[in-house]
């Protein structure tokens, strides 16, 4: 172990060196140490799980391949055809599938006693 690490492991040396440092700098150091510890713990957990998998006869790359194959099976659904036709505020004709938010023009027309069936294509 190097001298600097020995100093970090000794509480008296830490107190003496930390006495001259502002609290913000000490908190920043603590945050960095916490990150190093978290990374080390994660690496140890990964190694432990890898050993467990290998002990059960499962290759980790095989497991990852199975997970990626399952993710690729996602199928994009087909677009729905437009059900309603309406003219927007600018007079342009637009279509709406009936999914999602109701266009403001159709909402206003329904509020003024029109039916949604009036906009059917």
**Whole-model pTM?**
0.47
Maximum mean pLDDT: which of 11-20, 27-36, 93-102, 110-119:
27-36
65 pLDDT band, cuts 50/70/90, is confident
Alpha-helical regions (H) of the chain: 3-9, 11-18, 23-55, 60-72, 104-111
**Among 6-20, 26-40, 76-90, 95-109, which range has the highest average pLDDT?**
26-40
d(C-alpha 86, C-alpha 120), whole Å = 9
Domains and CATH numbers, the chain: 3-72 (1.10.287), 84-119 (4.10.430.10)
Residue 14: closest CA among 29, 32, 31: 29
- The stretch 26-52 carries a mean pLDDT of 95
The Cα-based distances of 37 to 3, 47, 50, 67, 80 in angstroms read 20, 15, 20, 29, 52
pLDDT band of 80, cuts 50, 70, 90 = confident
Report the chain's C-alpha Rg in angstroms.
32
pLDDT over 70 percentage in the chain: 94
């Amino acid at each position: 172990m190097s001298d600097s690490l020995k100093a970090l492991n000794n509480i008296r040396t830490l107190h003496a060196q930390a006495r001259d440092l502002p609290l913000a700098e000490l908190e920043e150091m603590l945050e960095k140490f916490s990150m190093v510890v978290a990374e080390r713990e994660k690496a140890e957990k990964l190694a432990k799980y890898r050993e467990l998998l290998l002990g059960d006869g499962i290759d980790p790359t095989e497991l990852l391949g199975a997970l990626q194959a399952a993710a690729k099976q996602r199928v994009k659904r087909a677009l729905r055809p437009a059900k309603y036709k309406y003219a927007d505020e600018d007079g342009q004709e637009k279509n709406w599938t009936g999914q999602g938010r109701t266009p403001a023009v159709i909402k206003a027309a329904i509020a003024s006693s029109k039916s949604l069936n009036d906009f059917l294509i």
